[in-house]
Each structure stands twice: as structure tokens, then as C-alpha cells.
């Protein structure tokens, strides 16, 4: 079939009607709205501080041209200067005192000209400020924060998968007194916003000696009600006959759990793993309370604290934000299919 | 090839773990009997819940009925209902400025307004988006992911992204100037910031609920639509008569879940506006955080009392959710 | 059937766990430090020197954001957790957690002689005579102006006795002539606000020594709200955020969006490094009101904390930092004013550019003009009870949520509530 027909095929219908066009328009607008802001922040993170304070902001990162002049150290800023005879020329500024700037033509570095600062304008060129990122590594112990975030995320996810699947197994494959109550209790904790129990939890953690320890961040987070709910929903679909057969073969309950039920729950486990990675990576308030030693900070903590600190050194702030988004974006790019189908599958019925 | 080998080895190593635990669990089974084994499986989860959720809730309850600024419960004087009385001391409950804790009541109204507007708007958009995604479109998996991407971002990142856009010298004003309109001071206008807080919240969470609604749409049998097509029914009629009624149980659950989350909103709003301008976007959880934590004089008791009020509201919403699920039919 | 891999896995797990909570073996003292410029970096340097002179002690300096000091530290201390030394600004508010290091320092009289007034700020009551920490800097609040803009506008810079109204007129003229968006901005801080308040006759304390919002305070508050509303000051500094969180207006000043900026001496180094030669930034003497022309003294102090398990080492380290040569070096490197009278008398040889030197001298000149009320409020244990609600309530008035009168009435009530709560 021709290219045109291929592009406009509609899986059955013979031609596109207006609802199709509206749908595609909606999707494209949605694409722009969902990705646009993130794209903007990525582009902005490559701008110099000076470029960031320009208004209206340009799309591409730009900065003032700098050049070297014989006899002077370092790179000096280039301006477009309005000369007394009305012409304009590109000149380099050596120094500025008050309203007076001392400029030179780079070709004739010995002829200094005094120019009023109102008669000059900055030059622009495309300038990708990668130093926002490289200096970040110097300024903050970036590698350290990254390691802390990764450690917490990986360990917490593994433990979450284990504990939640055990609990879901108990709640789905058995019938025992108090089962419903336990289930409701677990789900009920969904309605406790962590802020409410912040201070008492802090007391508990400090009494357990887990303050200023990555484990103090990990342990409270591993028993997720959503995880138990998700896995239980899925495990309910596993036929009980499999378990009964195994029991007749004298398998222990643990073996049934580990060798039969758990492998069959793999898709739901994958979804929970992705969620857990996302939650732990993005954890903010709780680590903020538990960790005060800077070498234990996670990336999110570092990001927030430097938000308050440099308050407004936006160039570093933006770069750090972008770096924090990268792992999540990678997870999204590679595992997006699993996430979206997984939620749909074990979604609330 | 080498990664395959490593993955295999790691997987192999992980499968050895049950070997470590197996004798332990079998022993437990022998001692306790298989009937009690579910409790063994539940134990780790319950232990964590108990220590880090229930125990703090109990302590929080105690805080609500004590006063003073000391952290340790044993050092706090018992004050009974005083904290709750302070919270509820109002000339008129509908006018926050007549209340002793005016910021708390402003927060209550703000949170209520926010929850209703945000959830309402978000559910409508989610349904719309799910309807579009349910159609036969090219690259459906990709489009689904598009709306879900912001859900993966942390609240701090979401807030910073939008803060950057809304700066008075930011790109939004830049675009406005570009099309000849006037730039607006978004961050200092109370009504605009409330609007933006709702919008940002929808942006950050819509994808999740869209997928749940999509699942609900996909559960509707196709032959109903085929029958409607044979009768040449208009799209609006199809929606009103077939889609909406069958989607309703799913929608109810989505609405209640979204409300529970909306009432607990804190991180993204706090980083974006700090509760401002003034107290225009101050919500309940922020009040609790500031009263108990951020202010130099920590009024733990008052914060705990406010959290009791919040817990009460959430309890009502959760009961509603349970009722909705039950009436929806599918529950175990 | 035991595979070596099982054992190694178990050992690896243990190693992981241990690594996350590694104990140390030497006497280790932890210092929780925040910095405006480079104070913590310099402290780290000096700590290393201390370690070579005292090989049995390790000093770990944690640089944390200011927010951690104001929000996390008090809760940690309340739970009996936290560092051994902390660099704090709420000097009186945390006094119940301090350790008296008098028995651990070499010469208590040296401390009294050199840090006299500042030591009082750390004490819980006037009869207390303990030494609780070392004032790491003396800061004074005061305004900076963009001299280049004044020159471009050809407006003369007001003299040292000029009033706040005269400054407003002058900066507004400059802003108009140079198309600068706003004339002036003050940091979003009750501490900053207190200076102009005292200038306008606020006494801050009543006859009984309790906090009070009097006519002077109300007068300046109303003026301030007006200035924000009529465009003299940028609304977003105070009104752009909620609650009582701190926000400075440095970025506005740096980007040339305001002509005058009320902040303080701790910004000098930042100005030098971030503004540099882009324009001429100069501090000016505090403008006057009917009652005074004062700034507010202050500064962060390294305080010794009761919970420490190594009080002797804490004493030794603070003694080291208080040594004239070490303290002088710290001042020179951080470009701060000394709170140490010995060092102040000798003068600090700042290794800085001419702009910074001139700036420091302006602030040194301000020390003598400080009002006694300024010292009193700085030393008052519960000064946060007035500083923080001032920010919250005036911000509400600025964005139009309530009238200035309502805001001031609420402010009085807030102060009463907080003072009552703290007394329990």
C-alpha cells in the first residue's frame, strides 16, 4: 500500500473522521504540555547566570562573547560600542570605574578608549554553559549524594518486594481469623499523611538509634500499603489448586511462597519495583528529618537545601534539578510499557 | 553477552537466599503449625507498620492532648482538650479572620477548595484523555507514557520546574510579551497562584489516574459499541448512554482516591509557593509542619491537634471510598 | 550443599550495613555549620590545623544549609540527638541545650574580657555567668546601594543623617531615571525589619521587659506595607512566598532591579564575588527615623551542646578558635567583623579588594551607633516570637489578604500565643 494509505490507516475504518483529528490534536497538545516544561528546564540549565536573568528569555542558551587581548590576563567581555562618529564597533572592555569603561579594539590593544557605559551593549553568542554541571561536582559532593540515593533506593526496593509479597501472600492465599481486620488496618494507613507522624516518628527513630543513618530512611518506608494491595490483587488470580498440589507433595509454606507464588507474581512485582524505585528516589520530607549529616544527604535533599541556600543561584539549581530527573527519565524510557500496562492490569476494579 | 552472564549469576545468588531461610521457616511451621503460618508471613510488614506508623500515631494522639514545647512525651504537661479548643475557637466558622488560629482555618478552606477544584478538573481531564487513548491510534503505548511522565517526577522537581516558568522574568511572561500581551506577576497574585497550584498539581498527577480510567474503559465490552454503531448513534449519545454509566464505579473510586491525595498535598505546593502569597495557598499539612517544626517555638501539641482534624477528614473520605468500592460490585 | 557464594553474599550484606553506620575510634567532635560565604570552609581548614596540634581529637565539620540549622537542629536537640558544636543564629532560643564550657577552657577571664557582650546573648538569664560558645562573627544590618545607578541618574547620594523618607525619595528618583524596576528592598526577615522599627520609635519591650507592638512599630509597619503596595519595593520579596520563611533580596540587587538593599555586613564577601565589578556596590550608614539611626547586631556563634560526649575536646577546640591569631585569621579569610575585642582593637588585616575594605569600614563605623534596644532584642531569648510572625502577618497585609491594622492586631496576638507556649 502507498505511504499515505499506511500513515492514515485507522485499523478498520476506511477514513479518518473529525473525532480522529481532534484526538490527534489533543495528543499533540498534551505532548507539548507534559514534556515542554521539562524540556525548558533542561535548556535553561545550560545557560549562564547572566543569560538566565535576561528578559524575555531566549530559547537557546546564549552568553556574552569573550575574547583574549594581548597583554591582559584571562578572557574579557566584548561589547558593541557606539563611537562618537556614529559608527559601531566591537570592542573589549578592560575595566569599568563608575560610569566610565576603558575599552580597546582587540586588533590595537594599546589604544585605550574611554566609553560611557550607556554607549555600549553586550554581544551575544551561542554559549552552552556546561560549567553549571562541572562546577556542581566541585561545589557539592555530588557522587556522595548519588550513592546515598542509589543505596537507599535499591536496598529499600528489595526489602519492599520481599516484605510486601510475604504479607500479600498471607492475605490472599489463606483464610484466618482477623484477616479482614489486618487488611483494613494496612489499607487504613494510606490515609495517614507522613507529615502528621513526622515528629513522633522522629522520636521513635532516634530512640532506635537510627538517626543519621541511611537505614533510618529505609526501614520505615518498606511496608507500603499500596504494595500490599497491588500484590494481593494479583495473587488472588493465582489458582489455589497449584498450592494444594504442592502441599500434597509435602512442600513447606515457605517453599510454596518462594517457588510457586512469587515467580507467578512477577509482573506485579515488576510494577511494584518500579513504583518503589520512584518513591524512594523522590523521598523528600522523611530523609530531611532523619539525615542531618551532609555526607548522608540524598540527591533530593541536596536539591532542596541548595534551593533554600543559594536560593537564587538558579544556574546551579537548574543543573541539579536536571541531574535528579535523569534516572527517572531513563526508567521511564525503558520501562514505560511495563508501568502503563501494569497499572492498568492491577488497577482498581 | 557478559551482562547476561552477570544477571544469571546474580539471579542464581538470589535464589540461594531461600536456601538460607528455608530451614528457619520450616522450623517455624513445625512449631506453630501451618494454620499460623500466615502470621509469620505478615510479621515483618506488621512489625514495620507497628513501629513506624501505629506507634507514632498513638504518640501523636498523646501530643494532641499535651502542651509545652518539649519533645519527649513524658516531659509534656497534660492539657486535655486545650489544644483542640484553641483550634476551634472561632467567632464564626465560616470566617477565618474571626478565629484565634486564623491561619489554620484559612488552611482548612484552602484545602477544601483545592481538593474539590483540583479533583474535579483532573477527573474530567483524565476521562477525556482516557477516551482519546482508548481509540485506535498509532503508537498508543507511547502516548500513554507521555501523560504518565510527570507522575515520576518528585514533588520538589515539579515545584522547581514550574517556579522557574512562572518567574516574573520567566518563560511564561516571555511568551506573553512575545504575543504582545502584558506580563503578569504570577507569584505575588493570590488568585493566580491558587489557579497555578491546581494546574501544577493536575499536571503532576493526571497521568496516573488517566491510566486507571483507561483500564476501566477497556473493561467495557466491545459489542455494546458495535451495537451502537449499527444504530448510527452519535458519539455524545454513545458516551452518555454506554460509556459513562459503565465507567461510573471506576470513576467513583478514582475520585475518592484523588481526594484523599489532594487533601494531603504539601511538598509540591510548599516548594512552589511556601504557602503564599500571604496564606493563599497554605494547606493543612503545611500548617501542621510549620506549627510543629518550622517555627522556632515548636508547638507540637497544636500541630498534633490539627493533624487529628485532618485524620478525621481523611477517615470520612476513606469510608466513602470503601462504600463506593462495595457498591461498585468488585470486592473481596 | 553450602556454596561459597552464599557466605560471600551474607558477608557483603553485613559490610553494606556496617558501611552505612561506620563508628569511629578517636575522640570525634562534630560541628554542624552553615555559611553565608565561606565560614565553614575556613573552619574546616582551621580544624585540620587543630588536629595536627591535638592528635587525639578528630574534628568533622558538616556544612549544612541554613534551613537545617533553623528547622532540623532544634528538633534533634529536643530528642537528645545532634552534633557536639553547632553554628547557630537563634542564640537565645536554643540556650536550654547549651553546655557551659567554663571548666573546659584554659582561661575564663580571657573569654569574659574579649567576648563580653556576645557571651550575654547566649545566656538563659541575666544572672547566668556561664560560657556557652564563641561568637564567630559580629554582623550588623545595614543598607547597600548601587552607586553606579545614582551616578547614571545624576542624583546625589543622601548623607549619613538622611531619613528613610529621604532615601525613598532619592532612590525612587534614581529608579525612574535609570528605568530600574524598584527603588528599594529589605530581606524578608523580622530581624532586618527591627532596625527601621527602632528608628521609628519602636521600643520593642514594655516596662515589664515583655515584647510589645507599640505605635512606633505600627507606624513603620504601615509605611512598609504602603511601599510594597505602591511599587517602591518589589512585592515578591515579602509577598511572593508564604509562612515565615527567610528570603533575601540579593538576587534582585545583583541583577540591578533595585537601587537600595537593606541586608547586612555578612553579604560583603558575596557581593564581591558575585557582583564584583559589574557595578559599584557600597554600604551606607543606616538611615534615620525620628528615634534612631540603628542597625541590629548579631552574628552566628559556635555553641557547645549539652549532649556532647566529649566536653573536654569541645572546650579545647573552641579555645583554639578563640585564640587571637586564629580568630584574626578566621575574620580575615571570611571577611567578617570580629566579635573579639582584642582582635577588633588590633584591627584585622583583610586581604580584600578596595571595595570590600571600604565596605567593612562603613560597618565598623556603625557599631558605635547601635541603639541599646538593638542589643536588647538580639539578646532576648524569645526574639523569634516577634521576628517570625512579623514576616507572616506583614506579608499577608502586603498581598491584600488583610489590612495593615488587622495584621498588626494579629501580630500582637501571635506574639502572646508564642510567648505563652514557650513558658509552659
* Per-residue model confidence as pLDDT tens digits over A207-259: 888 888 899 999 998 988 888 888 888 888 888 888 888 888 888 888 888 88
State the CATH number of the domain containing residue B92. Answer: 1.10.3720.10
Residue A257 grid coordinates = 511462597
The answer on B127 and B31 residing in a single domain is no
- Give the pairing type, strands A108-116 and C182-186: unpaired
Q: Is pLDDT of C256 > 90?
A: no
pLDDT, residue A16, reads 66
CB contact under 8 A, C424 and B68: yes
The answer on A281 and A141 residing in a single domain is yes
**Is B105 a member of any domain?**
yes
Please state, for a pLDDT cut of 90, what percent of chain C lies above it: 54
Q: Which residue of A has its CA nearest to C74?
A: A289
Grade residue C19 by pLDDT with cuts at 50, 70 and 90: very low
Nearest to C402 among B69, B97, B273 (CB): B97
Query: According to the per-residue pLDDT averaged within each range, which of A246-255, C24-33, C303-312, C358-367 is highest?
Result: C303-312
Phi, psi of A6 (to 5 degrees): -60, -45
State the CATH number of the domain containing residue A327. Answer: 1.10.3720.10
Residue A214 half-sphere exposure, CB side, CA atoms within 13 Å? 27
Q: Which residues of B touch A255 (CB under 8 A)?
A: 18, 22
Q: Which residue of C has its CA nearest to A291?
A: C72
Grade residue B8 by pLDDT with cuts at 50, 70 and 90: low
pLDDT, residue A156, reads 94
The answer on B322 and B287 residing in a single domain is yes
Residue C332 grid coordinates = 580575615
CB contact under 8 A, C80 and A293: no
Q: How far is CA B92 from CA B100, B105, B196, C403, in A?
A: 11, 11, 29, 19
**Is B74 a member of any domain?**
no
Q: Are B271 and A307 in contact (CB under 8 A)?
A: yes
- The whole domain housing B273 covers 85-331
Q: In what order do the strands lie in the sheet with C85-88?
A: C57-63, C27-33, C85-88, C301-304, C133-135
Q: Is pLDDT of C264 > 60?
A: yes
Q: Is the dihedral angle over the CA atoms A322, A328, A330, A333 positive or is it negative? A: negative
The answer on B188 and B323 residing in a single domain is yes
CB contact under 8 A, C277 and A96: yes
Q: How far is CA C295 from CA A135, B222, C213, in A?
A: 36, 76, 19
Q: Which residues of A touch C32 (CB under 8 A)?
A: 292
Who wins on pLDDT, C366 or A10?
A: C366
- Span C323-329, mean pLDDT? 93
- Span A297-324, mean pLDDT? 71
CB contact under 8 A, A254 and B148: no
- The whole domain housing A156 covers 135-346
**Is A55 a member of any domain?**
no
**Burial class of A335 by CB neighbour count within 10 A (0 to 12, 13 to 18, 19+):** middle
pLDDT, residue A340, reads 64
Grade residue C219 by pLDDT with cuts at 50, 70 and 90: very high
Subunits with 3+ C-beta pairs closer than 8 A to C? A, B
Of the residues A122, A144, A166, the one at which a domain ends: A122
pLDDT tens digits, B82-95: 888 888 888 887 88
The DSSP secondary-structure symbol of C102 reads G
Alpha helices per DSSP H over B134-241: 140-152, 155-166, 171-178, 190-218, 222-230, 235-238
Grade residue C324 by pLDDT with cuts at 50, 70 and 90: very high
Angle of the B244-263 helix axis to the B300-328 helix axis, nearest 10: 170
Chain B contact for A19 (CB, 8 A cutoff): yes
Structural domain tally of chain A?
3
- Span B133-160, mean pLDDT? 84
Surface of B (158-197) touching C: CB under 8 A: 168, 185, 187-190
Q: Is pLDDT of B2 > 60?
A: no
Grade residue A101 by pLDDT with cuts at 50, 70 and 90: confident
The answer on A72 and A157 residing in a single domain is no
- Span C289-294, mean pLDDT? 92
The answer on A27 and A70 residing in a single domain is no
Please state, for a pLDDT cut of 70, what percent of chain B lies above it: 91
Query: According to the per-residue pLDDT averaged within each range, which of A13-27, A275-289, A330-344, C93-107 is highest?
Result: C93-107
Q: Are C303 and C85 in contact (CB under 8 A)?
A: yes
CB contact under 8 A, C242 and B274: yes
The answer on A30 and A100 residing in a single domain is no
Q: Is pLDDT of B154 > 70?
A: yes
Q: Are C243 and C188 in contact (CB under 8 A)?
A: no
Of the residues A78, A99, A122, the one at which a domain ends: A122
Q: Is pLDDT of A348 > 70?
A: no
Who wins on pLDDT, B72 or C189?
A: C189
Structural domain tally of chain B?
2
* Ramachandran bin of B244, using left for φ above 0, alpha for ψ from -120 to 50, beta for the remaining angles: alpha
pLDDT tens digits, C63-104: 877 777 887 788 788 878 889 999 999 898 898 899 999 999
The answer on B60 and B101 residing in a single domain is no
The answer on A84 and A34 residing in a single domain is no
E strand map for C216-280: 258-264
Substitution target in A28, A281, A349 with the highest count of B β-carbons within 10 Å is: A349
The answer on B217 and B180 residing in a single domain is yes
Range in A50-54, B40-44, C417-421 the model is least confident about: A50-54
The answer on A165 and A76 residing in a single domain is no
Other C-beta atoms closer than 10 Å to the C-beta of A49 total 18
Q: Is pLDDT of B285 > 60?
A: yes
The answer on B259 and B113 residing in a single domain is yes
**Is A54 a member of any domain?**
no
Q: Is pLDDT of A13 > 60?
A: no
3-state secondary structure of C44: helix
Q: Which residue of A has its CA nearest to B210?
A: A344
CB contact under 8 A, A35 and B332: no
Who wins on pLDDT, A333 or B120?
A: B120
Which residue shows C-alpha cell 514495620?
B48
- Span B149-176, mean pLDDT? 85
Range in A65-79, A143-157, C253-267 the model is least confident about: A65-79
Q: Which residues of B touch A201 (CB under 8 A)?
A: 52, 56
The answer on B89 and B60 residing in a single domain is no
Taking the C-alpha atoms of residue C257 and residue C279, their distance in angstroms, rounded to an integer, is 12
**Is B7 a member of any domain?**
yes
**Is B73 a member of any domain?**
no
Mean confidence (pLDDT) of chain A: 79
E strand map for chain A: 62-63, 66-68, 75-82, 88-97, 100-105, 108-116, 120-122, 125-126
Burial B90-118 (b: 16+ CB within 10 A, else e): beeeeebeebebbbbbbbbebbeebbebb
Nearest to A309 among C65, C81, C83 (CB): C65
**Is A302 a member of any domain?**
yes
Q: How far is CA A329 from CA A324, C170, C282, in A?
A: 9, 52, 46
Please state, for a pLDDT cut of 70, what percent of chain C lies above it: 94
Residue A6 grid coordinates = 499506511
The answer on A117 and A141 residing in a single domain is no
Q: Is pLDDT of C15 > 60?
A: no
Q: Which residues of A touch C255 (CB under 8 A)?
A: 53
- Span B13-29, mean pLDDT? 70
Chain C contact for B309 (CB, 8 A cutoff): no
Who wins on pLDDT, C130 or A9?
A: C130
Q: Which residue of C has its CA nearest to A289?
A: C72
State the CATH number of the domain containing residue A70. Answer: 2.30.30
Who wins on pLDDT, C190 or C422?
A: C190
Taking the C-alpha atoms of residue A286 and residue B56, their distance in angstroms, rounded to an integer, is 14
**Is A193 a member of any domain?**
yes
Substitution target in B17, B28, B41 with the highest count of A β-carbons within 10 Å is: B41
pLDDT, residue B331, reads 41
The answer on B89 and B44 residing in a single domain is no
The answer on A113 and A145 residing in a single domain is no
**Is A92 a member of any domain?**
yes
Taking the C-alpha atoms of residue C213 and residue C409, their distance in angstroms, rounded to an integer, is 9
pLDDT, residue B205, reads 93
Taking the C-alpha atoms of residue C15 and residue A224, their distance in angstroms, rounded to an integer, is 26
Range in A289-298, C195-204, C271-280 the model is least confident about: A289-298
- Span B54-82, mean pLDDT? 84
The answer on B258 and B195 residing in a single domain is yes
Residue C419 half-sphere exposure, CB side, CA atoms within 13 Å? 16
- Give the pairing type, strands C57-63 and C27-33: parallel
pLDDT, residue B171, reads 84
pLDDT, residue B12, reads 60
Kindly report the nearest CA distance between residue A132 and chain C, in angstroms.
Answer: 15
Element (H, E) at B138: none
The answer on B90 and B54 residing in a single domain is no
The answer on A103 and A79 residing in a single domain is yes
Chain C contact for A309 (CB, 8 A cutoff): yes
Residue B223 grid coordinates = 459489542
Those residues whose C-beta lies under 8 Å from the C-beta of residue B260, and which sit 6 or more positions away, are: A190, A191, B314, B317, B318, B321
The answer on A92 and A222 residing in a single domain is no
Spatial CA neighbour of C199 closest among C367, C373, C375: C373
- Span C319-334, mean pLDDT? 93
Q: How far is CA C67 from CA B269, C319, C381, C388, in A?
A: 18, 27, 19, 14
Q: Which residue of A has its CA nearest to C69?
A: A292
Who wins on pLDDT, C342 or B238?
A: C342
**Is B268 a member of any domain?**
yes
Kindly report the nearest CA distance between residue B294 and chain C, in angstroms.
Answer: 5
**Is B80 a member of any domain?**
no
The answer on A36 and A72 residing in a single domain is no
Kindly report the nearest CA distance between residue A299 and chain C, in angstroms.
Answer: 14
The answer on A143 and A113 residing in a single domain is no
Q: Is pLDDT of A6 > 90?
A: no
Q: Which residues of A touch B58 (CB under 8 A)?
A: 200
**Is A60 a member of any domain?**
no
Taking the C-alpha atoms of residue C244 and residue C233, their distance in angstroms, rounded to an integer, is 19
Kindly report the nearest CA distance between residue C424 and chain B, in angstroms.
Answer: 5
The answer on B7 and B123 residing in a single domain is no
**Is A59 a member of any domain?**
no
Element (H, E) at C18: helix C4-20
pLDDT tens digits, A102-146: 888 878 878 888 888 777 887 877 878 787 788 777 666 777 888
**Is B33 a member of any domain?**
yes
pLDDT, residue C20, reads 45
pLDDT tens digits, A161-187: 999 999 999 998 888 888 888 888 887
- Span C19-46, mean pLDDT? 78
Q: Is pLDDT of B102 > 50?
A: yes
Q: Is pLDDT of C310 > 50?
A: yes
Chain C contact for B69 (CB, 8 A cutoff): yes
3-state secondary structure of A183: helix
Q: Which residues of C touch B276 (CB under 8 A)?
A: 239-243, 395, 399
Alpha helices per DSSP H over C275-381: 311-322, 324-334, 341-346, 354-367, 372-379
Q: Is pLDDT of A307 > 50?
A: yes
The answer on B322 and B271 residing in a single domain is yes
**Is B155 a member of any domain?**
yes
Chain B contact for A176 (CB, 8 A cutoff): yes
Q: Which residues of C touch A294 (CB under 8 A)?
A: 62-64
**Is A90 a member of any domain?**
yes
ipTM score for this prediction: 0.76
pLDDT, residue B116, reads 93
Substitution target in C242, C390, C395, C397 with the highest count of B β-carbons within 10 Å is: C242
Element (H, E) at C388: helix C384-398
Chain C contact for A226 (CB, 8 A cutoff): no
Taking the C-alpha atoms of residue B146 and residue A336, their distance in angstroms, rounded to an integer, is 9
Mean confidence (pLDDT) of chain B: 82
Subunits with 3+ C-beta pairs closer than 8 A to B? A, C
Which residue shows C-alpha cell 520530607?
A285
Grade residue B325 by pLDDT with cuts at 50, 70 and 90: low
pLDDT, residue B212, reads 85
Alpha helices per DSSP H over A79-141: 131-139
In total, chain C counts a number of residues equal to 424
Those residues whose C-beta lies under 8 Å from the C-beta of residue C207, and which sit 6 or more positions away, are: none
Beta bridge partners of A68: A75
Amino acid at each position: 500500500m502507498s505511504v499515505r494509505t499506511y500513515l492514515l490507516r485507522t485499523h478498520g475504518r476506511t477514513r479518518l473522521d473529525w473525532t480522529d483529528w481532534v484526538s490527534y490534536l489533543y495528543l499533540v497538545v498534551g505532548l507539548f504540555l507534559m514534556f515542554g516544561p521539562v524540556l525548558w528546564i533542561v535548556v535553561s540549565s545550560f545557560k549562564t547566570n547572566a543569560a538566565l536573568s535576561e528578559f524575555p528569555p531566549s530559547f537557546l542558551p546564549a552568553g556574552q562573547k569573550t575574547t583574549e587581548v594581548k597583554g591582559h590576563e584571562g578572557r574579557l567581555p566584548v561589547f558593541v560600542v557606539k563611537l562618537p562618529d556614529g559608527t559601531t564597533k566591537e570592542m573589549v572592555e578592560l575595566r569599568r570605574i563608575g560610569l566610565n569603561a576603558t575599552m580597546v579594539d582587540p586588533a590595537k590593544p594599546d589604544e585605550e578608549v574611554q566609553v560611557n557605559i550607556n554607549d555600549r551593549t553586550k554581544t551575544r553568542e551561542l554559549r552552552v554553559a556546561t560549567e553549571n554541571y562541572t562546577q556542581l561536582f566541585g561545589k557539592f559532593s555530588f557522587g556522595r549524594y548519588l550513592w546515598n540515593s542509589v543505596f537507599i533506593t535499591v536496598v529499600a526496593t528489595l526489602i519492599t518486594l520481599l516484605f510486601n509479597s510475604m504479607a500479600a501472600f498471607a492475605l490472599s492465599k489463606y483464610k484466618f481469623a482477623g484477616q479482614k481486620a489486618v487488611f483494613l488496618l494496612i489499607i487504613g494507613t494510606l490515609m495517614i499523611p507522613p507529615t502528621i507522624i513526622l515528629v513522633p516518628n522522629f522520636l521513635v527513630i532516634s530512640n532506635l538509634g537510627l538517626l543519621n543513618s541511611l537505614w533510618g530512611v529505609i526501614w520505615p518506608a518498606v511496608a507500603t500499603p499500596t504494595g500490599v494491595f497491588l500484590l494481593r490483587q494479583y495473587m488472588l488470580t493465582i489458582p489455589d489448586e497449584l498450592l494444594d498440589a504442592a502441599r500434597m507433595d509435602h512442600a513447606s509454606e515457605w517453599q510454596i511462597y518462594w517457588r510457586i507464588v512469587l515467580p507467578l507474581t512477577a509482573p506485579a512485582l515488576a510494577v511494584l519495583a518500579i513504583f518503589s524505585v520512584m518513591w524512594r528516589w523522590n523521598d523528600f520530607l522523611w530523609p530531611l528529618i532523619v539525615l542531618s549529616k551532609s555526607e548522608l544527604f540524598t540527591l533530593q535533599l541536596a536539591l532542596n537545601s541548595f534551593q533554600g541556600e543559594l536560593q537564587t543561584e538558579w544556574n546551579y539549581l537548574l543543573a541539579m534539578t536536571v541531574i535528579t530527573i535523569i534516572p527517572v527519565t531513563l526508567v521511564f524510557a525503558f520501562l514505560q510499557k511495563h508501568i502503563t500496562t501494569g497499572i492498568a492490569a492491577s488497577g482498581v476494579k | 553477552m557478559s551482562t547476561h552472564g552477570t544477571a544469571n549469576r546474580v539471579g542464581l545468588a538470589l535464589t540461594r537466599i531461600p536456601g538460607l531461610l528455608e530451614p528457619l521457616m520450616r522450623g517455624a511451621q513445625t512449631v506453630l503449625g501451618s494454620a499460623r503460618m500466615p502470621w509469620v508471613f505478615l510479621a515483618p510488614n506488621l512489625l514495620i507498620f507497628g513501629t513506624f506508623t501505629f506507634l507514632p500515631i498513638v504518640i501523636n494522639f498523646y501530643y494532641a492532648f499535651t502542651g509545652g514545647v518539649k519533645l519527649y512525651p513524658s516531659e509534656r504537661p497534660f492539657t486535655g482538650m486545650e489544644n483542640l479548643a484553641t483550634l476551634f475557637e472561632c467567632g464564626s466558622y465560616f470566617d477565618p479572620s474571626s478565629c484565634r488560629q486564623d491561619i489554620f482555618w484559612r488552611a482548612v478552606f484552602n484545602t477544601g477548595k483545592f481538593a474539590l477544584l483540583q479533583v474535579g478538573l483532573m477527573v474530567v481531564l483524565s476521562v477525556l484523555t482516557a477516551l482519546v487513548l482508548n481509540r485506535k491510534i498509532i503508537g498508543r503505548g507511547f502516548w500513554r507514557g507521555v501523560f504518565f511522565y510527570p507522575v515520576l517526577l518528585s514533588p520538589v522537581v515539579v515545584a522547581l520546574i514550574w517556579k522557574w516558568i512562572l518567574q516574573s522574568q520567566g518563560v511564561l511572561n516571555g511568551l506573553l510579551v512575545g504575543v504582545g500581551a502584558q506580563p503578569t506577576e504570577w507569584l505575588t497574585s493570590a488568585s493566580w497562584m491558587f489557579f497555578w497550584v491546581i494546574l501544577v498539581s493536575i499536571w503532576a498527577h493526571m497521568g496516573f489516574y488517566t491510566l486507571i480510567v483507561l483500564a476501566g474503559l477497556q473493561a467495557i465490552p466491545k459489542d455494546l459499541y458495535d451495537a451502537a454503531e449499527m444504530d448510527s448513534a452519535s458519539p455524545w449519545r454513545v458516551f452518555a448512554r454506554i460509556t459513562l454509566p459503565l465507567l461510573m464505579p471506576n470513576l467513583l473510586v478514582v475520585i475518592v482516591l484523588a481526594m484523599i491525595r489532594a487533601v494531603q498535598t504539601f511538598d509540591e505546593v510548599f516548594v512552589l509557593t511556601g504557602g503564599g502569597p500571604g496564606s493563599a495557598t497554605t494547606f493543612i499539612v503545611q500548617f501542621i509542619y510549620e506549627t510543629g517544626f518550622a517555627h522556632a517555638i515548636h508547638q507540637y501539641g497544636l500541630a498534633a491537634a490539627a493533624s487529628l482534624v485532618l485524620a478525621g477528614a481523611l477517615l470520612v473520605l476513606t469510608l466513602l471510598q470503601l462504600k463506593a468500592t462495595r457498591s461498585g460490585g468488585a470486592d473481596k | 550443599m553450602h556454596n561459597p557464594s552464599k557466605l560471600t553474599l551474607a558477608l557483603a550484606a553485613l559490610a553494606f550495613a556496617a558501611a552505612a553506620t561506620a563508628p569511629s575510634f578517636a575522640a570525634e567532635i562534630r560541628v554542624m555549620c552553615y555559611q553565608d560565604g565561606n565560614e565553614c570552609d575556613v573552619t574546616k581548614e582551621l580544624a585540620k590545623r587543630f588536629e595536627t596540634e591535638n592528635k587525639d581529637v578528630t574534628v568533622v565539620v558538616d556544612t549544612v544549609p541554613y534551613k537545617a540549622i533553623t528547622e532540623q537542629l532544634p528538633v534533634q536537640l529536643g530528642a537528645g540527638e545532634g552534633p557536639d558544636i553547632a553554628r547557630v543564629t537563634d542564640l537565645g532560643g536554643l540556650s536550654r541545650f547549651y553546655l557551659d564550657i567554663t571548666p573546659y577552657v584554659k582561661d575564663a577571664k580571657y573569654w569574659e574580657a574579649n567576648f563580653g557582650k556576645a557571651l550575654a546573648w547566649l545566656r538563659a538569664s541575666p544572672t547566668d555567668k556561664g560560657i556557652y560558645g564563641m561568637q564567630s562573627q559580629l554582623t550588623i544590618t545595614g543598607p547597600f546601594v548601587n552607586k553606579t545607578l545614582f551616578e547614571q541618574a545624576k542624583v546625589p547620594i543622601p548623607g549619613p543623617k538622611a531619613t528613610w523618607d529621604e532615601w525613598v525619595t532619592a532612590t525612587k528618583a534614581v529608579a525612574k531615571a535609570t528605568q530600574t524596576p524598584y527603588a528599594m528592598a529589605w530581606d524578608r526577615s523580622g530581624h532586618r525589619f527591627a532596625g527601621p522599627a527602632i528608628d521609628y520609635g519602636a521600643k520593642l519591650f514594655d516596662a515589664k521587659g515583655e515584647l510589645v507592638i507599640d505605635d512606633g512599630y505600627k507606624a513603620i509597619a504601615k509605611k512598609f506595607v504602603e511601599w510594597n503596595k505602591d511599587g517602591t519595593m518589589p512585592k515578591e520579596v515579602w509577598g511572593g512566598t508564604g509562612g515565615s520563611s527567610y528570603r533575601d533580596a540579593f538576587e534582585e540587587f545583583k541583577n540591578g532591579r533595585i537601587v537600595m538593599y537593606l541586608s547586612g555586613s555578612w553579604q560583603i564577601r558575596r557581593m564581591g564575588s558575585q557582583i564584583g565589578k559589574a557595578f559599584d556596590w557600597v554600604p551606607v550608614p543606616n538611615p534615620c527615623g525620628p528615634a534612631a539611626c540603628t542597625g541590629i547586631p548579631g552574628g552566628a556563634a559556635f555553641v557547645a551542646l549539652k549532649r556532647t560526649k566529649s566536653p573536654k575536646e569541645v572546650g579545647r577546640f573552641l579555645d583554639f578558635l578563640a585564640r587571637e591569631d586564629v580568630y584574626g585569621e578566621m575574620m580575615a579569610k571570611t571577611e567578617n567583623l570580629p566579635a573579639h575585642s582584642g582582635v577588633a582593637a588590633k584591627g584585622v588585616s583583610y586581604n580584600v579588594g578596595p571595595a570590600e575594605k571600604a565596605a567593612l569600614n562603613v560597618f565598623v563605623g556603625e557599631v558605635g551607633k547601635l541603639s541599646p534596644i538593638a542589643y536588647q532584642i538580639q539578646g532576648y531569648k524569645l526574639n523569634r516570637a516577634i521576628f517570625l510572625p512579623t514576616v507572616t502577618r506583614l506579608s499577608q497585609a502586603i498581598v491584600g489578604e488583610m489590612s495593615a491594622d488587622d495584621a498588626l492586631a494579629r501580630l500582637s496576638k501571635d506574639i502572646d500565643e508564642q510567648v505563652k507556649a514557650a513558658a509552659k
